[in-house]
Amino acid sequence: MNKAIVDTTILTDVLLNSGEARTWAKKALDYFDQTFLPVYAIKEFKSGPLKNFVWMHNKLATVGSYEKALEALQAMSRTPKRYTTSTAIQALKEASRSIGKLCPAILAKKYGENVSLDKILCDELRIALKVVIFRSWKRRRQISTDIIQPLPCYKEVIPYEKRGLIELEPKECTKSGDCAMASLLKTRPDELRLMREAIVNSDKPENKRRAKVLRHLYRTPKLQIEDKDCRSLGDAIFVFLANKDTVILTTNISDHVPMANALGKRALSPSQILIKEK
């Protein structure tokens, strides 16, 4: 039986992206008899890609101008928030696909003849993003055959609208004790050490943070970790949770493979799966 554990990149491609990325992700999921989505992926999805889509929606709602929203996006591109910028651009791209099918006559009837194109674009993109955001959250548990590894410290609270803005809180865990995921990882310190050794020399900031948290878990297991540390673990969670007969399905191959190889596991992308199938 073909089995795969699904990471956040696949969840995002299915729920927020379109075109080839979504097609390949869905075909790869269909290739497996069983697909497992950890609740951790849902947490990552909400605090990462979905948050960035919400940022774009709320910026359009706040400034009331497509041009000014683009200016804000351009300004952010000059900051270290490259992931937010990239996903916000993706959000505009996806929303544009929706409104691109509307004809001028329909828009003129809806807005009248005296409304600027800037205002129309702003409003239509905001509405399209709102639909994508709420629809993606509703479907988050529908892309895999199984949902695994529930997190007692994390509540899946539905996004809601307040004064025209979309709110995502809470995005973090509300723990009264140690992080539920950390408690599980601490039971297999040898695997944590192997994963750390596989990435400790990486130049990527995210891998440096991940290596630091992994070391903390096996060196000082009695000390609790914070929510930011849980988020820093990222890809290591999926590698850890996958059984050796289960493929780690991800588009982020470069970060998964070193850790997966260290534990004798396999990480494959949708394109690798589909080429293999042929």
CA distance to 6, 29, 40, 55, 65, per residue, from 148 (Å): 10, 16, 9, 29, 42
Q: What is the pLDDT of residue 219?
A: 95
Q: What is the DSSP letter of 107?
A: H
Return per-residue pLDDT of the chain as tens, 278 residues: 799 999 999 999 999 998 899 999 999 999 999 999 999 999 999 999 999 999 999 999 999 999 999 999 888 888 877 777 888 888 888 888 877 777 777 777 788 878 888 998 899 999 999 999 999 999 999 999 999 999 998 999 999 999 999 999 988 887 667 788 999 999 999 999 999 999 999 999 999 999 999 999 999 999 888 889 999 999 999 999 999 999 999 999 999 999 999 999 999 999 999 886 65
Distance CA 98, CA 271 (A): 26
Domain with CATH 3.40.50 in the chain: 3-48+146-154+175-277
What global pTM score does this model have? Answer: 0.92
Distance CA 273, CA 256 (A): 15
Distance CA 145, CA 140 (A): 12
Q: Using an 8 Å Cβ cutoff, are 149 and 39 in contact?
A: yes
CATH match for 3-48+146-154+175-277 among 3.40.50, 1.10.357, 2.30.30, 3.80.10: 3.40.50
Instruction: For strands 165-167 and 160-162, give the pairing.
Output: antiparallel
Q: Using an 8 Å Cβ cutoff, are 205 and 255 in contact?
A: no
Q: Using an 8 Å Cβ cutoff, are 227 and 172 in contact?
A: yes
